[in-house]
Homo-oligomer: A and B are copies of this chain.
Amino acid sequence: MGLLVVGSVGLDTVSTPFDKVNDALGGSATYISLSASYFTGPINLVGIVGSDFPKVYMKMLEEHNIELDGLKIVEDGKTFRWSGKYHYDLNVRDTLSTELNVFEKFDPVIPENWRKSKYICLGNIDPVLQGRVLDQMNNPQFVVCDTMNYWIEGKKKELLELLPRVSVLIINDSEARLLAHEPNLIKAAKKIRDLGPEILIIKKGEHGALLFTEDVIFSAPAYPMEMINDPTGAGDSFAGGFVGYLHRNRDLSPKSLKAAVIYGSTMASFCVEKFSTKGLEELSILRIKDRFREFMNLSRFDES
């Protein structure tokens, strides 16, 4: 079975101090799927767009072995649009506008022949919708879930109901502190794992990522980037690389989970090198493995 990916598909207008793009391809499901496509296939994408969604983007996704049977196209509807502006310090961004458009009525319907998928990646959408996706599945085995402060603050109860159904929760450090009500990240991680997810990944942007399981704490470095052109989609690219690698290998050992975190970090580093999804469109597994080994050189040390 393919890897099921559910999330937003949208058009982003992004400006940084260096450049700007209008109505470029974006959305969590888009980044996750493209990133995962280098490791496994097919990717079964579930999302919603309007009839204004450019055919050229659909073609590009299909060329990456991303199946779009689950991408609902609303006739005369308008695709979800987000517009943001990054500051000179790219850690800081302002959302200029969010037009939900057809995404406002997104109610994911999983095509019949995709319901047996064992590996599922739930992009950052309303936890109620994430739950409805799982309701439709026959015995999902490995559920990776992203969320954000907006849902932690606004739909806490619904999120807490979802978490026991999730294998891996991926959030950033400020979201972890918010969800656990605890400034110490190590204590926060324990608290969050007690809420359900067996595995927790805390992304720390330019500081790397932490993996927590019952027995393991793993600290992954960040790739040293001198030039970040567009941070949009980094977190989704991380999730895609992580789950795509695991879907291919069907190995959830600590060794494999650690490698998956590094593959996730690798894909995020490629993502931010270019605007929109451009950094993920023309990669090869060879380039990805080269960068994986750069991560190794970056963090390896020995007793001497």
Stretch at the interface among A35-43, A76-84, A183-191: A183-191
Judge whether B228 and A219 touch: CB under 8 Å: no
State the CA gap A88–B177 with chains docked (Å). Answer: 13
A301→B256 CA distance, assembly (Å): 9
Known: A208-B207, A219-B208, A259-B301. A187 touches B88 (CB 8 A): no
Contact stretch, chosen from A47-55, A98-106, A152-160, A292-300? A292-300
Known: A186-B224, A207-B207. A296 touches B304 (CB 8 A): no
| Cβ contact within 8 Å between B187 and A226 | yes
**Contact partners of A300 in chain B: CB under 8 A:** 300
Of A190, A296, A304, which is in contact with the most chain B CB atoms at under 10 Å from its CB?
A304
Task: Report the contact-size class of chain A (Cβ under 8 Å from the partner).
Answer: 35 or more
Interface string of A178-217 (1 = CB under 8 A from B): 0000011111001000000000000010111010000001
Residue-by-residue, is A259-289 near B (CB-CB < 8 Å gives 1, otherwise 0)?
A: 1011000000000000000000000000001
Indicate if the CB atoms of A298 and B217 lie closer than 8 Å: yes
A303 part of interface (Cβ distance < 8 Å): yes
User: CB distance A259 to B183 under 8 Å?
Assistant: no
| 10 chain-A/chain-B pairs, Cβ below 8 angstroms | A88-B183, A208-B221, A217-B224, A218-B299, A221-B299, A251-B304, A256-B304, A259-B302, A289-B303, A292-B303
Please tell me if the beta carbons of B225 and A186 are within 8 angstroms of each other in the complex: yes
User: A249 within 8 Å of B by Cβ?
Assistant: yes
Q: Which residues of A contact B (CB under 8 A)?
A: 88-91, 183-187, 190, 204, 206-208, 210, 217-222, 224-226, 228, 249, 251, 255-256, 258-259, 261-262, 289, 292-293, 296, 298-304
User: Which chain B residue lies CB-closest to A205?
Assistant: B207
Q: How far is B303's CA from A95's CA once the two chains are assembled, in angstroms?
A: 38
State A46–B217 Cα separation when bound (angstroms): 40
Q: Bound complex: CA of A280 vs CA of B262, how far in Å?
A: 34
Q: Are A219 and B218 in contact (CB under 8 A)?
A: no
- With A90-B183, A90-B184, A299-B299 known, 5 other A-B pairs at CB within 8 A are A185-B206, A186-B225, A186-B226, A219-B221, A219-B299
- Known A89-B183, A224-B217; contact A255-B302, beta-carbon cutoff 8 A: yes
Measured between alpha carbons, how far is A262 from B219 in the docked complex, in Å?
14
How many angstroms between the C-alpha atoms of A88 and B183 in the bound complex? 8
A204, B185: Cα distance in complex, Å: 14
Query: A89: which B residues are within 8 A, CB to CB?
Result: 183
Contacts of A304 in B (CB 8 A): 249, 251, 255-256, 259
Report if A301-B251 is in contact (Cβ < 8 Å); known contacts: A90-B183, A187-B226, A206-B185.
no
